[in-house]
Amino acid sequence: MLVSGLSEVEVEALPQDLPEKFEVRLEVLEEIDASITVADLPLSEGVEVLTDPDELIARVIFQEEEIVEEEEEVETFLALEEEPELVGRGEREEEGDEATEEEED
């Protein structure tokens, strides 16, 4: 699994020397625990990196497959989607409805 670290690197350079982006080759990440740090970035002349050179940009790690119990997840989901509780009408509303029904007859 590829784990990413930094997404931005702070550099110092003249405006015309500022890099638009850094391109790195991922072939160095063929093995578990291989990594790319700020120190591995290719720099053009006149560009100084202000970010710590040991900062991680990307790393390959081993992660065991997680076994997911789908039935338990479905049961939990269904338990969360219970029917809403119906609340009865208040006595005053019922009395008012009865009076309206008697007037209509």
53 within 8 A of 71, measured Cβ to Cβ: no
What's residue 3's pLDDT?
Answer: 87
Per-residue pLDDT reduced to its tens digit, 3-45 = 888 889 999 999 999 988 888 888 888 889 999 999 999 998 9
What's residue 40's pLDDT?
Answer: 92
3-state secondary structure of 62: coil
Select from 57, 62, 53, 5 the least CA-distant residue to 33.
Answer: 62
Per-residue pLDDT, averaged over 47-61, amounts to 93
Q: Give the ranges where the chain is alpha helix by DSSP (H).
A: 70-80, 91-104
15 within 8 A of 46, measured Cβ to Cβ: no
Which band of pLDDT confidence, cut at 50, 70 and 90, is reported for residue 73? low
pTM for this model (two decimals): 0.55
Domain boundaries, the chain: 2-60, 70-104
Per-residue pLDDT, averaged over 56-65, amounts to 86
What's residue 11's pLDDT?
Answer: 93
